[in-house]
Amino acid sequence: MNASDLRNHLPWSTCIAMTTKYEGVHDPRFSLALQTMLMAQHAQYSTVVVDGSDVFMRQLMAQMRINVFPENRSGIGNAWRQAIKQTLQSNGGSEGKIVVLMQPEKYDVIRLISQIVMPLIDGKAEIVIASRTEKSWDTYPIFQKVSERMANDIYRRSLGLDFDPMFGVLAFKARVAKYFLEYDADEFGFPDTYDSYHIPPVLASQDGIGVVGVPVDFEYPSSQRELEENNPAMRQNRIQQRSLMTDIYSQLGSVPFGELEHSL
């Protein structure tokens, strides 16, 4: 299938993989996730969700005709690999398929998918890492913006790749899915959490696989921003995530984390 054929088949060749885990229907993130899933349905994107919540939550999603599967193994990395595998197996197999990985609360990504996957369709890359424009960053809580930009800077300086991994929105062709499915965190001594989708593009790039960034004007959900601002618990979560990922980036790269952190 050539680039023109792929473009004509959008959105059918483009599938979305997501993972969810919520405490209950009153979790504000669950409402955002449902909005994302319904927007994906409306845009006719095939969507797979792997869920680690209570069975009632999955039943609710299934009633909304969402393609949801229970986690078969606990853990963030395992859930993402299961979601990717289920996506590749759905709707006639993996031939000509593009997989989009995204956090389910980021509903605004849905309107940007055609822009994100275009380098894949045009044959310019095998993996795309979406990045936030300045306009996008301005919609974020200030602390999250500072924290994630710091992590991105350490990623760039340690690994030599100028992307926005902390955004957490990726797209790739099915033929390079092995980098995600065969990722072994134990090999590096990593925790198999966020690294399960941050690190595979790095390893692919080292093998000569084309990886590019695509800037997008993503708008952070205003309701989520209100929840996070002046929230000590959320701030602590952001600090822990940044600490975890910057340590991983520096371990995988050539520059010691302490040296990078000291120079910021």
Local confidence band at 5 (pLDDT 50, 70, 90 cut-offs):
low
SS3 string of 48-76? EEEECCCHHHHHHHHHCCCCEEECCCCCH
Provide the pLDDT for residue 230: 81
**Alpha-carbon gap, residue 207 to 111, rounded angstroms:** 31
Local confidence band at 9 (pLDDT 50, 70, 90 cut-offs):
low
On whether residue 260 sits in a domain, the answer given is no
Q: What would the mean pLDDT of 14-20 be, rounded to a whole number?
A: 96
Overall domain count for the chain: 1
On whether residue 58 sits in a domain, the answer given is yes
**3-state secondary structure at position 17:** strand
On whether residue 180 sits in a domain, the answer given is yes
Of 45, 78, 48, 74, give the one whose Cα is nearest residue 62.
48
Local confidence band at 93 (pLDDT 50, 70, 90 cut-offs):
low
93 backbone φψ class: left, alpha, beta (φ>0; ψ -120 to 50): left
Amino acid at 224: Q
On whether residue 18 sits in a domain, the answer given is yes
**3-state secondary structure at position 99:** strand
On whether residue 258 sits in a domain, the answer given is no
CATH number at 19 reads: 3.90.550.10
Instruction: Give the range of the structural domain holding residue 47, as residue numbers without chain letter.
Output: 3-251
On whether residue 256 sits in a domain, the answer given is no
H or E stretch covering 84: helix 76-89
Per cent of the chain over pLDDT 90 is: 83
**Alpha-carbon gap, residue 20 to 30, rounded angstroms:** 8
**Alpha-carbon gap, residue 67 to 71, rounded angstroms:** 13
Instruction: Check whether 131 has a pLDDT greater than 50.
Output: yes
**Strand 170-173 vs strand 98-101: parallel, antiparallel, or unpaired?**
antiparallel
Least reliable range by pLDDT among 19-28, 99-108, 135-144, 247-256: 247-256
Instruction: Check whether 211 has a pLDDT greater than 50.
Output: yes
On whether residue 60 sits in a domain, the answer given is yes
Instruction: Give pTM, 2 decimals.
Output: 0.90
H or E stretch covering 173: strand 170-173
SS3 string of 200-260? HHHHHHHCCCCEEEEEECCCCCHHHHHHHCCCHHHHHHHHHHHHHHHHHHHHHCCCCHHHH
On whether residue 212 sits in a domain, the answer given is yes
Half-sphere exposure of 61 (CA within 13 A, CB side): 33
Which residue reads 């980036």 in tokens? 249
